[in-house]
Structure 1
Amino acid sequence: MDVLTKIFNKAATEGVISSFPRISAMQRLSIYADDVTLFVKPLASDLQFIRQVLQIFGQASGLRVNYAKSSAILIRGNDADRRRVADMLQCQEGDFPCKYLGLQLAIRQLTHAEWQPMLDHAKYFVPAWQHGLIQRPGRLILVKSMIAAKPVHHFMVIEASDWVFEELDRWMRAFFWKGKEKVNGGQCLVTWNAICRPTDYGGLGIKCLKQQALALRVRWEWLLRTDPNRPWQGLPMATDGMAKRVFDSLVCIKVGNGSRVQFWSNIWIFGFAVIDIVPLIHGLVDTRTRNRRKVEQALDNEAWLQDINGDLSFSAHLQLLHLGRQSPWFRGIPTPTINSRGRVMPQEFTLHCLFIKDSASGWRNRPSQHAFGGAGPPQMQDLHVAGRPASHLDLGSTGQTRSAGSSFAMLHLSSRGR
């Protein structure tokens, strides 16, 4: 099988077969024992190459492909691609979800009907007529070693719905107490939560499947950051929100050279992530960049500023300044000093656009290039820091002032240097 892997790696490197963006030649081929999964584009040249390579490999090694038991599954393909694959490979046509190494592979959330075979496999391992012949200590062993253990393979990689865990818990509870499929509350001598406690805390050591599944998925978050030699490293993986939140709450990241820490999403700034400090700016960065930008790349010549798309609001500028004050890594951000009264100490900014609102005319745009320093005028300090109604607003080049009671909104505040 190593020879087959090297053949496809060489073909992808030399451009004999089409490549996939952000996927290495090694990652497009999965081999386990005599099972092979290959990702290939449905092009005539690629399909012809695959057919010939598998035929030559079978003649040389004796491991011939049984096309009657093989299947081709299209991902985002059309009818023309489907006909081309069927004509050239002459194997069965499959669809998602499909089973590989006992796992249900899917490109969407599994339905109730698709989960049911796994549930039946976990529940019906003993003929129904034998249930009553097994004593409760024996049923406890079967619950811990069979029913609770069989679905672990699926829970390790798939985020199951709550009803899946409830169904299994209901079956384990009924089987443990009475050896039946269903049981009412009066037949349960102790609550199921007490049964699932560790033996040191008065329980019987039956694992809570939902918590165990979450712990197993958190392990992928750990391997993603600590084991760069895993063959799946670098693949665009779906985000497991719950597992990521648990991992972030348990792990403290200390930045070294920043080559393995994600700039936008990881918690690396004194126990906070960038999204916690600048949520308005975080939304202006596209998802692909948020998932791929490393700290080392982002801090090189302030490259992270180029990730921000669109104009920043007044509140977003304030968040940006707050990020610069709190984080010593961001040396390129202007960081004004705030005194005890909440006013900006001397530093110059440019007001690009000012909106004035009064009771008579509503919101009106007053463009201005009024440069002001933090030492004065006081009304401009109030405008920049707080967003309170200003007593007098100097409009600079317009030569006008507004009376007390006017409200304001400010857009696009940019620094003119320190």
Structure 2
Amino acid sequence: MTVFCLSKWSIKRIDKIRRNFLWKGSEEARGGYCLVNWRRVQRPKQLGGLGVPDLVISLGDGQRASFWHDRWLQGQSPLQIAPDLYKLAWRKQENIATTLTNGQWRRGLRRLSTIEEINQYIQLWDLLREVQLGEQPDDIVWRFSANGNYSSSSAYLIHFVGNIIDHDWQRL
């Protein structure tokens, strides 16, 4: 991670290994072994989590990052911002560039039926209006250092501090 940019599949594989280790202590964990969800594991220690940090995508041309799953929209994924819309959406594995073309992210959302779904739609639409794709490829950013680069010292410090950047607890 310190020399080469990680590909999308390698980030997902690293997260899978971390989850499986925490849940079962082995390479594979399924079903009843997963006693705590990953978002809870990522919460700050002060809020009952383990403070396990997450990697973020710095948006470039949108070809590498997943629209729904990667954290590219103000440090969050659209899945985190609008979980009810994700359930209705089509083509959930598409990249950002493909999904933003001609409003493809809205496909399947004609079935909005609750106030919460409509609120999530408006919130996501408002954030997406400001997105500008660039010329350079998407990049992976370490959220816990000022320059966005991973260092062993920043990883060591975050181990003790916890994931204080994730402010989901403020919505309460």
TM range (shorter): 0.3 to 0.5
> RCO (CA 8 Å, sep 6+): is it higher in 1 or 2?
2
TM-score by length of 1: 0.20
Q: With structure 2 as the length reference, what TM-score do the two structures score?
A: 0.44
